[in-house]
């Protein structure tokens, strides 16, 4: 999505929100007093319209199962299991415009990373397109790179030859996989990653990413903390590492 | 039939009984797989999944919950059974149930007693062939052979290894099972199918928070189970409890003697308020029931007034008709109670 006009600032009252459709994509715009925010219009849980939920000026709640987000960042709060995809909002002459941001900004693991470090990571990221059925990596491949999903869908299988089993899938912009690239003790892939449909991935060299994080230990600590949470979430089943 | 559920974090494998019409949701939950659901009765859409391969049979193609289905191949796991081996995708993280959770089971039962409490509410005692362990605040699905589909009813009592389950049922005008149950002539002795326990709006004494219960009408059923459990544990020696029971008018009120007993037993930290939406509390009621408060208003409004400054450490339990629950949710969220401190059952 390029920069798109969405509405006039006066169209949305204080502490109010509205959904607009831009090129077939639903975008929620919320007015938090002095500041406007724009997010994906459908709940990441079960695609319910977020404008039917509750907004008190700081917290957005989906009415269906009460997932909640911080309106300033889109970060998940309380019961929510996923953040909201954020769009940058620009206001000029009383008109609101939204701009789609890079998938890296949607990465939960990188949410509190400093702007300078994030832009260095952006420089490391290579944007790659994969066709349906393309293999991102095989079992036992070296774990050099980490991947961020920008669009499409990636599935993981474990096991060899005809004894394989699906071990999960990813379909949200900003989801990270192949995180073993950040772990020293995991030199080999334990799962195979296949694009189930045409997909766009950001590929980041794990070693280079660690160097960037070492240069900014405060950000690095946040990333490592988030990484351990992520791994814990997948622990109960075969991992997607 | 072999069922494979591809969840976002892993794959789950289990079997359903061939030919028995066992619902995919039921079979998975019985194996301790925490598949997503809320109403378990076809209305909320929470249990939606996408068929990847195989054939299913939909027991209720008109289920209102189907309005939440969007993509082709999506179905409600609570209404569909497998007619061949099935692979289905659930776009959620699906874990195994935590150890100590009450895993549901299917059982037969028998109606052993009914009692009319008001013109349109009865208690219904069902004896189960198998002992059932449930958490306070949970519900069962109950079905009878004359009526299609099962209905969710919350347990009123709380006992371990319970054989006797007490329910509170409000007659829904035009409701199919309501018409069967409230028809002339007693249903005592009738056989029923049971499946459960179900529901996430549960209470454990280890919660360590003040209790806030807001019930619209028969939503009070699960609250009674929660209060019974809290009483057994002397919970109100350590924590406050506030119960709000909303009905239209005095002819719809019940359980006043039970509330009086609970108040006397549990002491001053437990407060019970009956909110009447359609009439002022009649004179003399305060003298008759000195331990219960009566107020005029919608139950969420009455609760909002009384709970000002008292919401900091609450766990809120909400149940009843969906509009009443939604109004209470809105009230609590706008009072800055966070969603993880709100547990609810919508009697949709
Ligand atoms: C979690 C939960 C807890 C509940 N607890 C209580 C309670 O404690 N007390 C109480 O009175 N009510 C409770 N209800 C409501 C209750 O389940 C029934 O909706 C109510 O008793 C009216 O049933 P009915 O048959 O009279 O009405 P109907 O309108 O005939 O049916 C109501 C419900 O039955 C199910 N149903 C109807 N037809 C079919 C079909 N063909 N196939 C499959 N399912 C069908 C659907 O879920 C429908 O919403 C609860 C509901 C839920 C979801
Ligand atoms: S659909 Fe939004 S929280 Fe479930
Ligand atoms: S759980 Fe199946 S529709 Fe509610």
Whether the CB of A82 is below 8 Å from some CB of chain B: the reply is: no
Pick the last residue of a domain from B35, B55, B89.
B89
C-alpha B346/C-alpha B323 separation (Å) is: 9
Cβ-based neighbours of A171, under 8 Å, separated by 6 or more? A149, A152, A153, A154, B8, B91
Total domain count, chain A: 2
Q: Does the pLDDT of residue B18 top 80, yes or no?
A: no
d(CA B307, CA B320): 19
Asked if residues A240 and A149 have their Cβ atoms less than 8 Å apart, the reply is no
Q: Taking a contact as any Cβ pair under 8 Å apart, which residues of chain A between 215 and 234 contact chain B?
A: 233-234
The CATH number that applies at residue A69 is 2.102.10.10
- Which of B67, B62, B65, B86 has the alpha carbon at shortest distance from B2? B86
Q: Are residues A150 and A205 in the same domain?
A: yes
Q: Same domain for B189 and B213?
A: no
| Whether residue A227 sits in one domain with residue A112 | yes
CB atoms within 10 A of CB A203: 17
Tokens 């029931």 locate to B289
For residue B301, give Cα distances in angstroms to B14, B247, B328, B336: 46, 13, 8, 16
Calculate ∠ Cα B23-B224-B97, nearest 5°: 40
User: Is the residue at A239 inside a domain?
Assistant: no
Find the ligand nearest to B343 CA: 1
Query: Do A111 and A225 share a domain, yes or no?
Result: yes
The CATH number linked to B82 is 3.10.20.30
Same domain, B289 and B311: yes
Which pLDDT tens digit goes with each residue over A40-75? 999 999 889 999 999 999 999 999 999 999 999 898
Burial B77-101, CB ≥16 within 10 A → b, else e: bbbbbbeeebbbbbbbbbbeeeeee
In a domain, B98, yes or no: no
pLDDT at A230: 81
Q: How much is the pLDDT for A235? A: 64
Q: What is the pLDDT of residues A116-143, one digit of tens each?
A: 999 999 999 999 999 999 999 999 999 9
B315 in contact with chain A, both atoms CB, cutoff 8 A: no
Q: Are residues B280 and B264 part of one domain?
A: yes
Question: A101, A131, A161 — which closes off a domain?
Answer: A101
* Mean pLDDT computed over B47-53: 96
Query: What was the pLDDT predicted at B279?
Result: 97
Instruction: For residue A194, list its beta bridge partners.
Output: A135, A155
Range in B130-139, B180-189, B263-272 with the lowest mean pLDDT: B180-189
Residue B96 in domain:
no
Task: For residue range B228-260, list pLDDT tens digits in order.
Answer: 999 999 999 999 999 999 999 999 999 999 999
A241 lies in a domain?
A: no
Instruction: Say yes or no: A81 and A161 in one domain.
Output: no
Residues A226 and A112 in one domain: yes
Query: Do B243 and B325 belong together in one domain?
Result: yes
Contact status, residue A117 vs residue A105, Cβ threshold 8 Å: no
Q: What is the pTM of this model?
A: 0.87
Verify that A52 and A108 share a domain, yes or no.
Answer: no
Across chain A, mean pLDDT equals 88
Interface A-B, measured as beta-carbon pairs within 8 A, has a size of 69
Q: Is the pLDDT of residue A4 over 70?
A: yes
Backbone angles phi, psi at B264, to 5 degrees: -65, -40
CA distance B268 to B240: 9
pLDDT at residue A239 in the model: 36
**Any domain includes B280:** yes
Site of tokens 């794959």: B11
Q: Are residues A150 and A196 in the same domain?
A: yes
Run of H or E including B258: helix B256-266
The two most distant CA atoms of chain A are separated, in Å, by 62
Query: What is the pLDDT at residue B100?
Result: 87
Contact assessment for residue A233 and residue B93, using Cβ atoms and an 8 Å cutoff: yes
pLDDT cut 90: percent of chain A above it: 61
pLDDT at position B282 is 95
The CATH number of residue B234's host domain is: 3.40.50.80
Q: Determine the pLDDT at residue B347.
A: 93
Q: What is the pLDDT of residue A236?
A: 54
Contact assignment for A54 to B334 by CB distance below 8 Å: yes
B14-23, B239-248, B249-258, B302-311: least confident range: B14-23
Under 8 Å between Cβ of B16 and B82: yes
- Per the structure, the count of domains in chain B is 3
CA quadruple B317, B322, B326, B328: dihedral, nearest 10: -40
What is the CATH classification number for the domain harbouring A110? 2.60.120.10
- Per-residue model confidence (pLDDT) at position A237: 47
Cross-strand pairs, B247: B276
**Residue B275 located in a structural domain:** yes
Residue A152 within any structural domain of the chain: yes
Task: Kindly give, in sequence order, each residue whose CB lies less than 8 Å from that of residue B3, ignoring residues fewer than 6 positions away.
Answer: B13, B14, B15, B16, B24, B27, B28, B82, B85, B86, B87, B88
The CATH number linked to B180 is 2.40.30.10
How far CA A93 is from CA of A19, A98, A99, B143, in Å, comes to: 21, 14, 17, 62
- Alpha carbon of B32: minimum distance to chain A alpha carbons (Å): 13
Contact, A49 vs A19, CB < 8 A?
yes
Task: Based on the fold, state whether residues A204 and A141 are members of the same structural domain.
Answer: yes
Residue A18 inside a domain? The answer is yes
pLDDT at A240: 37
Are A33 and A74 members of one domain? yes
Mean pLDDT of A200-224: 94
- Residue A165: the pLDDT is 80
Residues A120 and A226 in one domain: yes
Would you say residue B165 lies in a domain? yes
Q: Are residues A91 and A129 in the same domain?
A: no
Domain boundary among A101, A120, A155: A101
Pair (B194, B218) in one structural domain: no
Same domain, B75 and B150: no
Dihedral pair phi/psi, residue A232, rounded to 5°: -60, -40
pLDDT in tens, A155-185: 998 877 777 788 888 877 888 999 999 988 8
Return the pLDDT at A193. Answer: 94
CB contact under 8 A, B11 and A165: yes
User: Which of B61, B144, B149, B151 should be mutated for ligand 1, with most atoms under 8 A from CB?
Assistant: B151
Same domain, B258 and B327: yes
pLDDT-derived band at B348 (thresholds 50, 70, 90) equals: confident
B134 and B247 in a common domain: no
Are B184 and B272 in the same domain? no
- In this prediction, residues A18-33 reach a mean pLDDT of 91
Domain containing residue B63: 2-89
Range of the domain at A49: 2-101
pLDDT of residue B20: 83
Q: Name the pLDDT band for A186 (thresholds 50, 70, 90).
A: confident
State the DSSP H helix or E strand holding residue A182, giving kind and residue range, or none if neither. Answer: none
The answer as to whether A6 is a domain residue is yes
Query: What tens digit of pLDDT does each residue of B69-84 get?
Result: 988 899 999 999 999 9
Q: Per the domain annotation, does B95 fall within a domain?
A: no
């Amino acid at each position: 999505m390029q920069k798109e006009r969405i509405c006039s600032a006066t169209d949305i009252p204080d502490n109010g929100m509205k959904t607009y459709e831009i090129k077939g994509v639903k975008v929620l715009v919320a007015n938090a007093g002095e500041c406007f925010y724009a997010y994906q219009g459908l709940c990441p849980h079960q695609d319910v319209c977020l404008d039917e939920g509750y907004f008190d000026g700081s917290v957005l709640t989906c009415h269906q199962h009460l997932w909640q987000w911080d309106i300033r960042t889109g970060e998940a709060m309380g019961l929510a299991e996923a953040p909201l995809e954020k769009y940058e909002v620009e206001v000029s002459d009383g008109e609101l415009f939204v701009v789609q941001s890079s998938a890296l900004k949607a990465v939960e693991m990188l949410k509190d990373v400093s702007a300078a470090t994030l832009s260095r990571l952006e420089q490391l990221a290579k944007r790659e397109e994969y066709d349906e059925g393309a293999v991102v990596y095989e079992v036992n491949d070296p774990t050099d790179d980490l991947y961020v999903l920008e669009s499409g869908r990636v599935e993981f299988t474990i096991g060899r030859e005809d004894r394989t089993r699906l071990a999960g899938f990813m379909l949200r912009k900003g989801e990270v996989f192949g995180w073993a690239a950040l772990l020293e003790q995991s030199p080999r892939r334990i799962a195979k990653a296949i694009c189930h449909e045409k997909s766009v991935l950001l590929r980041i060299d794990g070693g280079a990413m660690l160097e960037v994080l070492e240069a900014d230990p405060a950000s690095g600590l946040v990333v490592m903390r988030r990484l351990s949470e992520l791994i814990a979430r997948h622990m109960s089943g075969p991992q997607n590492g | 039939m072999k069922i494979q559920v591809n969840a976002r974090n892993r794959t789950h494998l289990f079997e359903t009984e061939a030919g028995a019409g066992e619902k995919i949701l039921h079979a998975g939950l019985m194996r301790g797989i925490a598949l997503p659901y809320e109403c378990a009765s076809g209305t909320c859409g929470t249990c939606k999944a996408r068929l990847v391969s195989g054939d299913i049979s939909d027991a209720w193609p008109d289920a209102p919950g189907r309005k939440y289905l969007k993509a082709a191949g999506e179905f409600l796991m609570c209404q569909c059974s497998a007619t061949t081996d099935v692979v289905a995708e659930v776009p959620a993280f699906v874990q195994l149930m935590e150890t100590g959770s009450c895993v549901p089971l299917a059982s037969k039962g028998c109606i052993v007693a009914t009692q009319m409490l008001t013109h349109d509410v009865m208690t219904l005692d069902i004896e189960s062939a198998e002992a059932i362990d449930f958490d306070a605040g949970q519900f069962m699905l109950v079905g009878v052979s004359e009526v299609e589909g099962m209905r969710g009813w919350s347990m009123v009592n709380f006992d371990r290894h319970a054989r006797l389950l007490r329910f509170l049922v409000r007659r829904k005008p035009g409701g199919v099972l309501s018409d069967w149950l409230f028809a002339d002539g007693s249903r005592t002795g009738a056989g029923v199918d049971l499946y459960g326990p179900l529901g996430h709006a549960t209470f454990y004494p280890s919660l360590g928070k003040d209790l806030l219960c807001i019930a619209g009408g028969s939503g009070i059923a699960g609250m009674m189970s929660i209060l019974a459990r809290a009483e057994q544990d002397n919970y109100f020696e350590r924590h406050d409890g506030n119960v709000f029971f909303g009905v239209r008018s005095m002819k719809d009120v019940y359980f006043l003697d039970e509330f009086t007993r609970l108040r006397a037993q549990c002491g001053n930290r437990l407060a019970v308020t009956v909110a009447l939406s359609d009439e002022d509390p009649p004179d003399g009621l305060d003298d008759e029931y000195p331990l219960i408060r009566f107020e005029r208003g919608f139950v969420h409004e009455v609760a909002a007034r009384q709970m000002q400054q008292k919401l900091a450490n609450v766990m809120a339990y909400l149940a009843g008709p969906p509009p009443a629950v939604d109004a209470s949710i809105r009230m609590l969220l706008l009072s800055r109670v966070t969603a993880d401190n709100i547990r609810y059952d919508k009697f949709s």
